[in-house]
Structure formats: structure tokens, C-alpha cells
Amino acid sequence: MLATNIREASVHTDVVVVGAGPTGLTLACALRSAGIAVRVLDKAPHAAVTSRALGLQPRGVEVLDRLCALGGIPDRGLPIRRVTVNVDGRALASFPVGLSTRLGGPRALLISQADIEGALRERLTALGTTVEWGRAVCGVTASSNGATVHLEDGSDVDAAWVVGADGAHSVIRRCMAVGFPGVPIIERFLLADVHADLDRPRDGVQTWMRADTMLAAFPLPGEDLWRLMALAPEGHENQTQDEIVETLARHLAEEAGATVRSTEWTSTFRIHRRLADSYRTGRVLLAGDAAHIHSPFGGQGMNTGIGDAENLAFKLASSSRAALPTGCSTPTPPSGDPWPRMCSPRPVGSRGSWWAKGACRDCCATGWPCPCSIVAPSSSS
């Protein structure tokens, strides 16, 4: 979108990050740690308080730790130690999860996106930058040596670089006319965060599988708070919040004999697999869901966005003339990374999208058991 003739005077900064989700906040923290001026713009009036994405993989824990942005996450998050699988009403297996800890690394944590964003905002504030809420972007104009972000309030922001971390419906991607080809997966899922009297260990994931249904329960911080996820019934495309809770509560009662007491949040989602034609147009870049979307199972969506952000921050910091201070927070290539491959044009998202082609790859990528390898015992057994 081209700038209009009557606009407020532009304000210059090194990098403008559009979107204050996990990707944008991680990127901003990493850049500020490197002494680079950043402005973070988000169209929302304030920070979200609902849980949304769930789970921080070991790599995500390491990234936030390097940025000194973990805050209270290790104390608040629930460590994932096992995945328990029930098939046709019978316990089939309980799989340990924790290869990272056996190799000396951190354990994956069950914690909400809201908590992760809160820790990142706290770190960003300590670095001297705050999110500018209610700043909706309506266009971006790229040049050979920078880009200008146009805001709906009539103001402009000039920057050496602009990064669109504004989600699957990215305004930045659309303004730069970057294609986002891909396909949806047929299945639709129901989600709810509920208080329930589910008498199961709170150190892992519980799953129940039948020929035509599935239910999963993820413990959330709190005494009786659980994230429930199930396949949506066929032919029910527009369920109300009450209908979503009713469906999930019925499954939970049938499978575990538990009762849902109250509900904090509900949602539905359909998995899409899409990959931007390009992550870069001149001085405008894409990261996170703006660049690639795929299955969120195992926290892949949020965690690949965090990986994008650290990767991109190192490259932008390396190309900047700003002096990089020493210390644990300075963006550096993570130890052991296949750096030449990671410097390819679309490193994280292309791998994530490929792995998201099926539930098998979802589970293999996270170390969880593959549901396709789990079958109900035959009637003759």
C-alpha cells in the first residue's frame, strides 16, 4: 500500500516489529539485547489473557533462557514427563517424555501462551521497550535501504527493517503481495480450558482414542485446570460455546468418569498447512505464523515462531552497525545448530510445514507416541 500525501512526520527506528505475540516479542527482546532500537506495534487494545497455544518445548525454554526472559515460567509451568494412551476404554501404554533432560537439557513445559508472552513483555520492558497497543498497520512501503510502516491513525514509522510477526492473517504479508499457498486438513478440533475433577496425574498428557473419536487432556497450572481437545462432530461446523463445552464434557465423563465444573475459555480450530512464497521482500521480512502455519500439536506453531525469532535476530544484529554487547543475552548461533542450513531462505517453517503433513510426524517431532502405530487389540487377542 502506497503512502498518502497527507500523513504525520515519520519517526525512524532500526527495526519495526508488527505483532506482539511470542514471535514478535522474542525477536524484540533479542534485538534489544543487542543494542538495536526496536518498536513493537500491535493492533490489539491490550495484551491477551486467554491461554491459546500451550506448551514450551525444550528448545523454546533454551531460547528464552538465553534471552533472560524465562521469568517465572519454570516455576509456573508443569513439566511433561509422560503421555498416557487409552484405546477403547483400556489403558494401552504410558510413554516417558524427557530425552532432553537425559541429555542435560531442560524439560518441556505445559504453560499457556499468555504466560509466555507475559514473561517476554517483562523482559522487554527491562530492556527499555514496551509494546505499543492499539497501533493498527494499514500498509508498508519498501525501499532499497529501508521501509515505512503506515498506521491507521495517520502516522508513519521509518525503519531499516520491518518484520511482520502478525499471524496467519498477516497485514504485512498481504501488503507485500506475498503468496501463502497451502491446504486445510479436513478435521476440525474443539478446545476448552476447564476446571474438572479429573483424577489423573498432572505431569503429562492423557489421551483416549476410539475408532471415530479422540480426546486429550493437558494439565494447566492450577489445582484442577485442564485443556481438553477433541475432534469436532461431523456436520457441526458452527457450534456455540455451550455446545463445545457440552461435547467435551460428555467425552470426559464417558472416558474418565470426570465432571467439568466450570469453563475459562473455548475455541475451535482447523489445521492449515501453508508456507509463504518468500520470507523477504527487500527490507520487509516475515516470521512465525505470518510465514508458515501447520499443525499446532506439540506446541509446534508457537515454538517454531520462537525459533524463527532467534534465528532472525542474530542475522539482523550481525548486519547492524550497532555494537553487540557481551553477555548471556546477546543473540548468537545456538550451540550445535546446523548453521549453514539454518541460514537457508526458509529454514524453520519449511521443515515445520513438511513435518506437519500428518499426526505421525507431529508426534515424532516432539517425541510423543505416534497414534498411527497404536491400534486397539483385536477381538481375537
pLDDT in tens, 162-221: 999 999 999 999 999 999 998 877 678 899 999 999 999 998 899 999 988 899 999 998
> Using CA atoms, how far apart are residues 321 and 340, in angstroms rounded to an integer?
23
DSSP H/E element including 28: helix 22-33
**Confidence at residue 286, expressed as pLDDT on a 0 to 100 scale:** 96
- The pLDDT tens digits of the residues spanning 167-176 come to 999 999 999 9
> Using CA atoms, how far apart are residues 158 and 11, in angstroms rounded to an integer?
6
C-alpha grid cell for residue 181?
499457498
* Confidence tier at 95 by pLDDT (50, 70, 90): confident
pLDDT score of 155 more than 50: yes
339: left (phi over 0), alpha (psi -120 to 50) or beta: alpha
pLDDT score of 43 more than 90: yes
What letter would DSSP give residue 348?
H
Question: What are the backbone angles phi and psi of residue 64, rounded to the nearest 5°?
Answer: -65, -35
Half-sphere exposure of 261 (CA within 13 A, CB side): 8
pLDDT score of 331 more than 50: no
**Confidence at residue 106, expressed as pLDDT on a 0 to 100 scale:** 79
Higher-confidence residue of 357 and 296: namely 296
Average pLDDT over residues 46-54: 87
Looking only at Cα atoms, what is the longest distance across the chain?
78
CB atoms < 10 A from the CB of 377, how many?
Answer: 10
- The pLDDT tens digits of the residues spanning 221-280 come to 888 999 999 988 877 677 889 999 999 999 999 999 999 999 999 998 887 889 999 999
**Confidence at residue 269, expressed as pLDDT on a 0 to 100 scale:** 82
Q: Which fold has domain 185-272?
A: Alpha-Beta Plaits (3.30.70)
**Confidence at residue 172, expressed as pLDDT on a 0 to 100 scale:** 98
Q: Cell 519449511 sits at which residue?
A: 350
Q: What is the sign of the dihedral through the CA atoms of 252, 254, 256 and 257?
A: positive
**Confidence at residue 297, expressed as pLDDT on a 0 to 100 scale:** 63
> Is-contact 348 311, C-beta < 8 A?
yes
**Confidence at residue 327, expressed as pLDDT on a 0 to 100 scale:** 42
The strands making up 54-56's β-sheet, listed across from edge to edge, are: 54-56, 109-112, 78-79
**Confidence at residue 351, expressed as pLDDT on a 0 to 100 scale:** 42
CATH architecture of 13-78+108-180+276-319: 3-Layer(bba) Sandwich (3.50)
> Using CA atoms, how far apart are residues 125 and 225, in angstroms rounded to an integer?
30
* Confidence tier at 369 by pLDDT (50, 70, 90): very low
- What is the distance of C-alpha 149 from the center of its chain? 24
DSSP H/E element including 16: strand 11-18
Using alpha carbons, list the distances in angstroms from residue 45 to 136, 174, 182, 380. Answer: 10, 22, 31, 60
> Using CA atoms, how far apart are residues 336 and 306, in angstroms rounded to an integer?
17
Helices 300-319 and 347-355: crossing angle, nearest 10°?
160
**Confidence at residue 52, expressed as pLDDT on a 0 to 100 scale:** 85
C-alpha grid cell for residue 34?
543487542
Higher-confidence residue of 13 and 4: namely 13
Q: What's the whole-model pTM score?
A: 0.79
Average pLDDT over residues 363-369: 39
Higher-confidence residue of 349 and 53: namely 53
- The pLDDT tens digits of the residues spanning 282-301 come to 999 999 999 998 776 656 77
**Confidence at residue 345, expressed as pLDDT on a 0 to 100 scale:** 45
> Using CA atoms, how far apart are residues 59 and 211, in angstroms rounded to an integer?
34
Angle in degrees, CA 250, 251, 254, rounded to 5: 85
What does the domain layout of the chain look like in residue ranges?
A: 13-78+108-180+276-319, 185-272
pLDDT score of 360 more than 90: no
pLDDT score of 140 more than 60: yes
Half-sphere exposure of 354 (CA within 13 A, CB side): 5
Residues forming beta bridges with residue 40, ordered by sequence position:
17, 131
Percentages helix, strand, coil for the chain (3-state, rounded to 5) are 30, 30, 40
* Confidence tier at 347 by pLDDT (50, 70, 90): very low
pLDDT score of 323 more than 70: no
Mean pLDDT of the chain: 81
Average pLDDT over residues 101-123: 85
Dihedral of the CA atoms 196, 197, 199, 201 (nearest 10)? 40
> Using CA atoms, how far apart are residues 261 and 101, in angstroms rounded to an integer?
35
> Using CA atoms, how far apart are residues 341 and 320, in angstroms rounded to an integer?
22
327: left (phi over 0), alpha (psi -120 to 50) or beta: left
- The pLDDT tens digits of the residues spanning 65-78 come to 999 999 999 999 99
Average pLDDT over residues 150-159: 96
pLDDT score of 61 more than 60: yes
* Confidence tier at 100 by pLDDT (50, 70, 90): low
For every residue of 151-184, DSSP letters joined together read ETTS-EEEEEEEEE---TT-HHHHHTT----EEE
Q: What percent of the chain has pLDDT over 70?
A: 77
Half-sphere exposure of 342 (CA within 13 A, CB side): 18
